[in-house]
Amino acid sequence: MPFATAIDFIPLWLLLGTIVIVVLSVEAGYQLGGYRRRRSEQEKEVPVGSIVAATIGLLAFMLAFTFGLAVTRFEARRQVVVDEANAIGTTFLRAGLLPDHRGPKVRKLLREYVDVRLEAIKPGKLEAALQRSGELQRLLWAEAEAVGVKHSGSITVGLFLQSLNSTIDLHVTRVQVAIRNRIPGVVWAVLYLITILTMAGVGYHSGLTRTTRSLAIVVLAVTFSAIMLLIADLDRPQEGLLRVGQQALIDLRNTMNEQD
């Protein structure tokens, strides 16, 4: 998988294993707390409770921070699809004004370019689509250079070159925002580490205070697992239930086809 982070190699459904991680962490802490209670009477319950509350607050902050990163990237991916569709549409319209009958050829290349962009969102098609996008950009720019050299003083040609340049630039932006700009693996590692330590702290405090095990731990485990799964889903552009809609490009392709 190109530009993948370490967690991308874990299927989304397998992240439900966070439930097991949380439950085991609580149980390990509970056993340790019970052991410490039997072996030592010096450890006070109140300081431990304060420490556990502080770690829960830190975990909540990390979850909010990571969720915010994922949502920001998701919204950026949605916006860049609209921007790219607008840039390609403008280039397509201006291509019709090109001299030397170059417009039909340029428009044909742009139609294929939109099809390739839509193909890129399909699983397993990304790498080939990116390669073909680069090839089409070079063909389009070759046409632009040829007409630009011959009609260097034309305002129409200048406007076409400007919009084509924006289209190419937005390709780079989309690759950066949608594929490379991901939640770093170190953030995931720290988030899971804090989760394990916090849940172990909750169990430790329960064991220390002789609190019986509660089914509320299962609710806690499911909740954390669901949040982790949601964050991972938001962060993966080609997997999961939360996908960026491509309707702007689909509408553009339909409009292009109507102008055949």
Residue of 146, 55, 150 lying closest to 105 (CA atoms): 146
- Left (φ > 0), alpha (ψ -120 to 50) or beta: where does 100 sit? left
- Per-residue pLDDT at 219 exceeds 70: yes
Segment 220-229 mean pLDDT? 86
What does pTM read for this prediction? 0.80
Asked whether the predicted pLDDT for residue 234 surpasses 70, the reply is yes
pLDDT for 81-124, tens place per residue? 999 999 999 999 999 989 888 899 999 999 999 999 998 888 77
Is the pLDDT reported for residue 1 higher than 70? no
Predicted local distance difference test score (pLDDT) of residue 2: 47
Q: Which range (10-24, 48-62, 108-122, 218-232) has the least confidence?
A: 10-24
C-beta of residue 147 within 8 angstroms of C-beta of residue 99? yes
**Eight-class DSSP state of 8:** G
Local structure of 142: helix, strand or coil: helix
CB neighbours of residue 8 within 10 Å = 17
Reported as a single tens digit per residue, the pLDDT across 130-145 is 999 999 999 999 999 9
Whether residue 37 has pLDDT greater than 80: no
Query: What is the distance between the alpha carbons of residues 37 and 2, in angstroms, rounded to a whole number?
Result: 51
For 236, phi and psi rounded to 5 degrees? -105, 110
Model confidence at 243, pLDDT cuts 50, 70, 90, reads: confident
* Residue 29, token pair as written in the block: 């802490």
Q: Which residue has the higher pLDDT, 209 or 165?
A: 165
Q: At what angle do helices 185-208 and 18-39 cross, to 10 degrees?
A: 40
Ranges of each domain in the chain: 8-258
Top mean pLDDT of 38-52, 75-89, 208-222 is at 75-89
CB 233 within 8 A of CB 239: yes
What mean pLDDT do residues 24-33 have?
Answer: 88
